[in-house]
Amino acid sequence: MSGDIKRGTAEMTAAMLISGTIGWFVVMSGQPVSGVVFWRCLFGALTLLVICGALGLLRPGILTLRTFAIAVFGGIAIVVNWLLLFASYSHATISIATTVYNTQPFMLLVLGALFLGEKITAAKLFWLTLAFAGMAAIVEAKPQASGTSDGYGLGILMALGAAFFYALAALAAKWLKGTPPHLIALIQVATGMLMLAPMTDFSQPPQDAGSWAILVSIGVIHTGLMYVLLYGAIQRLPTHLTGALSFLYPIAAILVDQLAFGHALQPMQIAGAAIILLAAAGMNLGWTPRWLRPRALQG
């Protein structure tokens, strides 16, 4: 294994494990969802501003007006995605919300076909259908975790909405190919900060050092550091390895949810989650079921 692959694997693993713990930080912050996202954007923007400055990305001429506008659009989408995902935790548990959120590759598949002219192959259609089967199993499951049965369906819809807006942000990123990703991230969180400032209640800030530490961690670690690790990994790893390691995120989130809050998945939820993750793996890694392969490639 080359040095780049080893480093990229370590960076991707760290980024996904960090992502998998964000649900705990959001819940333990004790803040309204809009407040959590505002402080995430503020502290994330400060961190990314330092990183972009160190990388020499703040000089004039890097962005055109068009690329800036697309980055702002992506920022609006990513912030709405955070709002919906964080809000879904209290309705459908972190485990279920994160699993449902991992339908995002299928949202991007449809958007890519509509706006980029990308072809939906038979294999991709198969994985899409399988993901919907997993979704149906989760919707039909009866949650037994305390405090999650009310609004369970709403939580699932919120997580699906979060996946859709994440796909919109990913679509914007496709249009920004060649633009430094750390700079895109800075514009996104700065956009979110401006979006949410009018609706953030500054008269009731966190009252103790622990709450502030959690919010700073969400901004600095789960946003600034995570972006650096993620983009570093993407630059070093082949696509199939990036896709495979990305499944550490939902697995870590499920483990954190069970260990920290005692939210164990029920049998039907486990089956649905496994089907969704299998379908997402098939999409990300480009698997083609044997019966869908051309005859010349079989055997």
Higher local confidence (pLDDT), 162 or 3: 162
HEC assignment per residue over 200-252: CCCCCCCCCHHHHHHHHHHHHHHHHHHHHHHHHHHHHCCHHHHHHHCCHHHHH
The mean pLDDT value of the chain amounts to 88
Q: What is the pLDDT of residue 299?
A: 47
Query: pLDDT band at residue 5, thresholds of 50, 70 and 90?
Result: confident
The Cβ-side half-sphere exposure at 74, using a 13 Å CA radius, reads 23
Residue 31 is classified by DSSP as: S
Concatenating the DSSP letter of every residue in 156-202 gives HHHHHHHHHHHHHHHHHHHHTTTS-HHHHHHHHHHHHHHHHGGG--T
Is the distance from CB of 78 to CB of 227 less than 8 angstroms?
Answer: no
Q: Is residue 154's pLDDT more than 80?
A: yes
What average pLDDT does this structure show over 46-50?
95
What average pLDDT does this structure show over 164-174?
89
Q: 121's torsion region: left (phi>0), alpha (psi -120 to 50) or beta?
A: beta
Q: Is residue 151's pLDDT more than 80?
A: yes
pTM of the model: 0.88
Q: What is the pLDDT of residue 109?
A: 85
Query: pLDDT band at residue 298, thresholds of 50, 70 and 90?
Result: low
Q: What is the pLDDT of residue 297?
A: 47
Total Cβ atoms within 10 A of residue 174: 15
Is the distance from CB of 166 to CB of 104 less than 8 angstroms?
Answer: yes
* Ranges 104-113, 236-245, 287-296, most confident: 104-113
The rounded percent of the chain whose pLDDT value lies above 70 is 95
Is the distance from CB of 218 to CB of 40 less than 8 angstroms?
Answer: yes
Span 198-242, pLDDT tens digits: 988 888 788 889 999 999 999 999 999 998 898 888 878 887 788
Q: What is the pLDDT of residue 54?
A: 94
Higher local confidence (pLDDT), 295 or 151: 151
